[in-house]
Structure 1
Amino acid sequence: MAERKRRGFWSRLLHNRLSIVGLTLTALLVIAGTFAPFIAPYDPTEMMFSDVFRPPSLAFPFGTDSLGRDMLSRIIWGARTSLYVGVLATAISLLIGVTFGSLAGYFQRTLSPVFMRLADIQLSVPDVVLLIVAATVIGARSLEVIALIIGVTMWPSIGRVARSKVMDIKTRDFVDAARMAGAGHGRIIWRHILPNGVGPLLIVATLDVGSAIVAEAGLSFLGLGDPTAVSWGQMITQGIEDMTYAPWCVIFPGLAIFSAVWGINVLGDALRDTLDVEL
C-alpha cells in the first residue's frame, strides 16, 4: 500500500510540466551547492587582474568582475551559500513554529491565545525591517547567525499551519484511542498527530527555503551579510557600479536568484497540488 502511494505521488508530480521545471531548477541548485568545490572551474576568490571585466566567452562563460574573478565560479559558490542558509533557516523556523504551533493547537484554550498574539505582533512588522534591525543589533555576520535571524522571522507561517493541523487532527478517533490507551500529551502530539499533518508542513517549509534565499540575498545586498561568504546579493551590490559597461556582473547573479526561488516556489505549488492540500 505504501509503495503504491509513493508511485502515485511521483506519477502525479511528474505529470505536471511546471513541476518538472521546478524539480530541475531545484536539483541544479542542490547539485551546485553541494558539489561547488568540484564543479566550479576557478577559485571564486581568485583575482586575475589580466582578465578584468572580460565579457562572457568560452574561457569565462559568465564573464569576470572588476577584480578578474570568474563569475560562473562565484555563482556556483553563491548557490552553496544560498542553499546552506535557506535550509538552515527553514530548519530553525520549523523547530520553533512546529513546537509553538503544536502546543497551541493541542492546548487550545490556554496556549492558543498567547501564540496567536505573538504571531500577530511579529507579522505586524515587515520581515525586511525585522531582518535589518536584528542583523544590525546582533552585529555578527556569520552565515549561521544570518540563518538564525531569518529562521526566527519566518516561524509564524509554519506555526499557524501546525496549529491548524493539530486542532483538526486531535479530534479524530485514533487520537482518542491513543489517549484512552494511556499515551501522554507529548507522545500523542509527536507520534500520532504531527505525522498525519506532515504534508502541509512540508509544503510551507519548501516555500520558506525560497523566502530564506531571498532574505539572505537582500541582507548581503545591503551589506549586512557574511562578508567572507560568496553571496549572490553581494555580487549584485558589487556589480551595480559597473553595470553600464559590465552588465553581466548583475544579470547573471540576478538570474541565479530568480531561477532558484522560482524553481522552489513552483515545486512547492506542485507539491500542494499533488498532495491536494489547502494551506
Structure 2
Amino acid sequence: MSATGVALPAGERLPEPESTGRTRSPRSLLRSLADLLRTPGLALSLLWVGLVIVAAVAPSLFAPGDPLAVDTVARLRPPSPGHPFGTDRLGRDLFDEMVHGTGRTLPAAALATVIGLSAGSLLGLLAGFLRGVSDLVIMRLVDVLLSIPGLLLALMLVSVLGKGNALDVGIAIGVAAIASTARVMRAEVLRVSESGFVEAARTGGARWTRVVLRHVLPNSIGPVWVLTLLLFGEAILGVTTLSFLGFGAQPPTPEWGSLVSSGRDFLGSAWWLSILPGVVVALTVLAANRVSRAFDGERTGLR
C-alpha cells in the first residue's frame, strides 16, 4: 500500500514528486529584467557596478598612466580636466590611484562574499535539515558569532592572519559574514522542509541526499542569492574600513581605504584627497544595495 492508500504492484513505489518551486522561462526573465531597467535609479546602479567591476579587471582602460608616478611639481592640485580627482602630496594622480586600487579592494570584497555565502549556506542547510543536536550546536555557534560586532570580529581575525594583505582582510570579513547568512538559510530550509512536496519525496523513499539536493536546496537558495550583492556592498565597506585602519595593503600600494586614510591630514587644505575616494566607496555600496533590493523585489513580486 502507498501512503495515499492506493495498492501498488510488488517492487514498485510512488514516483518521486518534483519540486513545486516556481520556474520561469528565459524569455520571462529577460522581460522582467527589461521592466526593472526602466527604473532610472536601478539602471544607473547597474551601470555604476558594471563600471567598477570593469575597472577592477582592466584598470588600464580608465587609467592608462602609472598610479605611482611622482610629480612633485603638481603636488596637491585640486580636481581639474587633467586630474579629475586632483593630485596627492607627492603629485600622484588620485584618479589613477583609485582606479588601480579597485583591483585590490573588489577582489577582497568578492572573496569575503564567497566565504560568507558558501560557509553560511552550508551551516544553515545542515542546521535546518538535520535539526536536533546538529541544529543546536550549529546555531549556538552562530549565536556566538552574532554576539560579536562584525567589525570587531574581523579586526580580531585579521590581527591573527597578519596585516599587509588585502586577501587576508577579505577572509576576515567573510568569516564575520557567515552567521547572518546561516540564519537566513536555516529559516528557508525549515520552511521548505515542511512543504508537501518534500514530505512526499521522503514518503516515496527518496534518499535524504536527493531530497536535499533536488528539493530543499533549490527552493531555499533564492533569498541567499539575493543577499549576494547586499553582502558584497557590506564587504566593500568592511574591507575599506580595515584598510583605512592600516590592516590592508600598505603604502604606496593604492587601495580605497588607504587612500581615504592618507588624505585625512589634509582635509583643511586638500579636501579632495579623502572626500572623493569616500564618495566613490559610498556610491558603490549604495549601488550594490539598490540592485540587491531590486532583485529581492522581483523575487517576491514587490518592487
1:118-137 equivalences under 5 Å are: 118-137=141-160
Kindly indicate whether the alpha-carbon contact (under 8 Å) linking 1:217 and 1:232 is maintained by their aligned counterparts in 2.
yes
Deviates further, 170-179 or 231-240: 170-179
1:193-212 equivalences under 5 Å are: 193-212=216-235
Amino acid at match of 1:263: A
Provide the residue aligned with 2:209 in structure 1. 186
Candidates 248, 259, 270, aligned match of 1:225: 248
In structure 2, how many angstroms separate the alpha carbons of the residues matched to 1:20 and 1:38?
22
Alpha-carbon distance, 1:214 to partner: 0.6
Candidates 287, 294, 300, aligned match of 1:263: 287
Amino acid at match of 1:133: M
Deviates further, 84-93 or 128-137: 128-137
Amino acid at match of 1:172: S
Deviates further, 260-269 or 53-62: 53-62
The structure with the greater share of residues assigned to helix is 1
Candidates 255, 276, 279, aligned match of 2:300: 276
Provide the residue aligned with 1:248 in structure 2. 272
The residue matched to 1:110 in structure 2 has which SS?
helix
Amino acid at match of 1:122: L
Alpha-carbon distance, 1:166 to partner: 1.1
Alpha-carbon distance, 1:11 to partner: 3.3
Candidates 81, 89, 93, aligned match of 1:66: 89
Q: Deviations over 1:173-222 (max 9, x none)?
A: 33334435554333322332222223211111210001110111111111
Larger Rg: 2
Kindly indicate whether the alpha-carbon contact (under 8 Å) linking 1:158 and 1:205 is maintained by their aligned counterparts in 2.
no
Q: Deviations over 1:24-81 (max 9, x none)?
A: 2211211221211332132122222222112212221111101111111111122222
Provide the residue aligned with 1:46 in structure 2. 69
In structure 1, how many angstroms separate the alpha carbons of the residues matched to 2:215 and 2:166?
35
Provide the residue aligned with 1:21 in structure 2. 44
In structure 2, how many angstroms separate the alpha carbons of the residues matched to 1:110 and 1:252?
51
Q: Name the CA shift for 1:243/1:189 in 2 (closer, same or farther; >3 Å).
A: same
Provide the residue aligned with 2:19 in structure 1. none
Alpha-carbon distance, 1:9 to partner: 2.6
Candidates 215, 219, 225, aligned match of 2:238: 215
1:105-120 equivalences under 5 Å are: 105-120=128-143
In structure 1, how many angstroms separate the alpha carbons of the residues matched to 2:111 and 2:193?
29
Amino acid at match of 2:275: I
In structure 1, how many angstroms separate the alpha carbons of the residues matched to 2:176 and 2:250?
22
In structure 2, how many angstroms separate the alpha carbons of the residues matched to 1:277 and 1:114?
35
Candidates 123, 126, 136, aligned match of 1:103: 126
Kindly indicate whether the alpha-carbon contact (under 8 Å) linking 1:16 and 1:270 is maintained by their aligned counterparts in 2.
no
In structure 2, how many angstroms separate the alpha carbons of the residues matched to 1:230 and 1:58?
22
Alpha-carbon distance, 1:231 to partner: 1.2
The residue matched to 2:277 in structure 1 has which SS?
helix
Deviates further, 56-65 or 225-234: 225-234
In structure 2, how many angstroms separate the alpha carbons of the residues matched to 1:22 and 1:180?
47
**Under a length normalisation based on structure 1, what TM-score does the superposition of the two structures give?**
0.92
Alpha-carbon distance, 1:141 to partner: 2.9
RMSD: 1.9
Q: Name the CA shift for 1:8/1:178 in 2 (closer, same or farther; >3 Å).
A: farther
Deviates further, 174-183 or 100-109: 174-183
The residue matched to 2:88 in structure 1 has which SS?
coil
Percent identity, aligned pairs only? 32
Say how many residue pairs are matched.
278
Amino acid at match of 2:287: G
In structure 1, how many angstroms separate the alpha carbons of the residues matched to 2:108 and 2:205?
41
